[in-house]
Chains A and B, each alone.
Chain A
Amino acid sequence: MTSAESNNLYAASHSDDIINAKGIYKNFGENVKVLKGISCEIKRGERVVIIGPSGSGKSTFLRCLNLLEEPTYGEVWLEDKLVTPVDPYLHKDVIELSKTYCKLRNEYKPGIIGESEEEIKEKIIADIKKRDLLHEKHEGKAYKALMKKIYDENYININLARQKVGMVFQQFNLFENLTVMDNITLAPMKLLKMSKEDAVKKATDLLTRIGLADKANAYPVQLSGGQKQRIAIVRALAMDPDVLLFDEPTSALDPEMVGEVLDVMKELAESGMTMVVVTHEMGFAREVASRVLFIDEGVIMEENTPDKFFGDPQNPRLRDFLSKVL
């Protein structure tokens, strides 16, 4: 397969995905391995809920999707565009061009029974991946050229990509030096070059939708947690994102304020917004999700529709987890 064909294939295979995470690993330092190979595709209109015990890597995974954390290995694709560096281990055609591969191929002694060329190839590639043998400096020109080609053809600046990926944080993170109105209009005016009148009109519409139009000129410190979080959602919506990421949006809220935030999220889900939600709210997952992921110890342990996920969990760890939280 030539490289040109392979790149066309990538493009074709991503077309209806909004987010495509491939083989994401994340290490903090040498010893802390948080994510150990997570792959996940999120299609337009999907509402994916991620649950898991604390420390399982679910928030880290979510933050990898918009590159607030940079994955150690793996690639993140946002709407057909690559936002991480190219990971050679994910491209067979790249590995085959490497000097390491050539060396191993020459040294390779076939097993007792004759193996086909394809099988040998598979074995060597698996070996290279397992032992992390690729080092950019020593792999030769052809390898580098193809890496660069893939990168140049697919790469997009992360700031551009993030405009289409909204994020809502556990701690709200409203800009404390700006009024609610400025919080919402800052990014659309700066990035989408919206005029001030348009931005204000849009923000007012959105604020009216969540019943907080009277707070437009308030500063974040004057608001309750629930109000802050709803405004944080509106701030993300003002950029017209294609997907919204929620990082435990209700975990920092007083219990009586959880409902108002979940209501806004449900309304969003009904309007067809693509959402990825890390949460501990099982009721929300059951009601709203189109797919639920269970992440533990840095891998996806189970992935299913909410009915099957909660009704008939397969993985023993998931069963254990559900018995504790339900």
Chain B
Amino acid sequence: MSQNIWEIKWTKFWTSFIERGAYHKVIEGLEHTVIIAVAGLMIGILLGTLIAVIKVVPGKNPVMGFLKKICNLYVNFFRGTPMVVQLLLGYYVLFPLIGIKMSSLMVCVVIFGMNSAAYVSEIMRGGLLSVNFGQTEAGRALGLSYPVTMMRIVVPQAVKNILPTLGNEFITLIKETSIVSFVGAIDLCQAFRNIGASNYEFMVPYLVMAVIYIVLVLFITYLIKITERRLRASDKR
């Protein structure tokens, strides 16, 4: 009896997934999920590193002090509000106000990047502080400027130390993309919700969706592992 119910549910799902072509939407949603997470992380790493470097500059230069205050404000805002709120603010307030017309996908990429930057900046700051200060001193003593010393010496070592945590951030981003339907973007989650809504059968689509998320995250975990191994080349004795 119960087997029969599952058979019916599965058939319903399969009909809409393949025969009515919903898989196109799922693939599109998967694409969007990956695009938002990857591009978001890229923006996050670039912007986050910049914020972290500004925050660890020693000394009491007034310009730097001002920049540090702005960075603190930025980090506090993005860590202090839910991502959904940031998305809504971005889509309905910020971008209309400054007059930029963007697709909801682009808005998601930008907001995810900015949100991620706040978290990455703190991760990166920890990483930068974990690198022995002697490395900075050696670079500066050779005559390299502070930015060059940071980019060539300190940041690469910091990235190696924080890679597991950055991987965490990437996985979080992948999963957080499930909220982008708030501003009308289609992601993996929204694609499956649409399948369920088309024939009032939600169980199978949602189970399949969960499996796809897990596979995606496991695949990313594997990629991180490989990257980590390559970056650890300089540790081999």
Contacts and interface: CB of A to CB of B under 8 A. Distances in A.
Contacts of B139: 175
Contacts of A177: 153, 156-157, 160, 234
A173 B138 contact: yes
A193 interface: no
A222 B142 contact: no
Contacts of A178: 153, 234
Given A159-B143, A176-B157, A222 B138 contact: no
Contacts of B234: 176-179, 219-221
A68 B153 CA distance: 17
B143 A160 contact: yes
Given A176-B234, A177-B153, A187 B142 contact: yes
B10 to A, nearest CB: 53
Given A68-B137, A175-B139, A177-B234, A187 B144 contact: yes
Contact of B141 (A167, A219, A220, A221): A167
Interface string A148-166: 0000000000011111011
> Which of B138, B139, B157, B236 has the largest number of chain A CB atoms within 10 A?
B138
Interface in A233-258: 235-236, 239
Interface string A86-115: 000000000000000000000000000000
B231 to A, nearest CB: 9
Tell me the interface secondary structure of chain A in the complex. Answer: mixed
Contact of B140 (A162, A174, A220, A221): A162
A94 B156 CA distance: 47
Interface in B198-237: 233-237
A281 to B, nearest CB: 21
A177 B148 CA distance: 14
Nearest to A238: B142
B69 interface: no
Contacts of B143: 159-163, 187, 191, 239
A186 interface: yes
B142 A239 contact: yes
Interface in B18-55: none
A160 B157 CA distance: 26
A220 B152 CA distance: 16
B172 interface: no
B168 interface: no
Contact of A176 (B135, B145, B237): B135
A59 interface: no
Nearest to A222: B237
Contacts of A186: 142, 144, 152
A169 B142 CA distance: 12
A174 B132 CA distance: 11
Contacts of B160: 177
Interface in B111-150: 132, 134-135, 137-145, 148
A171 interface: yes
> Which of A161, A175, A239 has the largest number of chain B CB atoms within 10 A?
A175
Nearest to A179: B234
A162 B141 contact: yes
A235 B142 contact: yes
Contacts of A160: 143
Contact of A171 (B134, B142, B235): B134
Interface string B149-173: 0001100110010000000000000
A235 B142 CA distance: 9
Nearest to B139: A175
A222 B141 contact: no
Interface in A251-277: none
A176 B158 CA distance: 11
Contact of A175 (B145, B153, B233, B236): B153
Contacts of B132: 171, 173
B234 to A, nearest CB: 4
A324 interface: no
A137 interface: no
Given A66-B141, A190-B144, A239-B143, A173 B236 contact: no
B237 to A, nearest CB: 6
A235 B141 CA distance: 11
B145 A159 contact: yes
Contacts of A190: 144, 148, 152
B141 A175 contact: no
A187 B138 CA distance: 11
Interface string B173-208: 000000000000000000000000000000000000
A167 B142 CA distance: 7
10 contacts: A66-B141, A159-B140, A159-B144, A165-B141, A167-B138, A175-B153, A177-B156, A221-B234, A221-B237, A236-B142
Given A169-B138, A173-B138, 5 more contacts: A159-B145, A169-B141, A173-B137, A175-B153, A176-B135
Interface of A: 66, 68, 159-163, 165-167, 169, 171, 173-179, 186-187, 190-191, 219-222, 232, 235-236, 239
What are the 6 A-B residue pairs with the smallest beta carbon separation, nearest first?
A173-B138, A163-B143, A173-B134, A167-B141, A162-B143, A187-B142
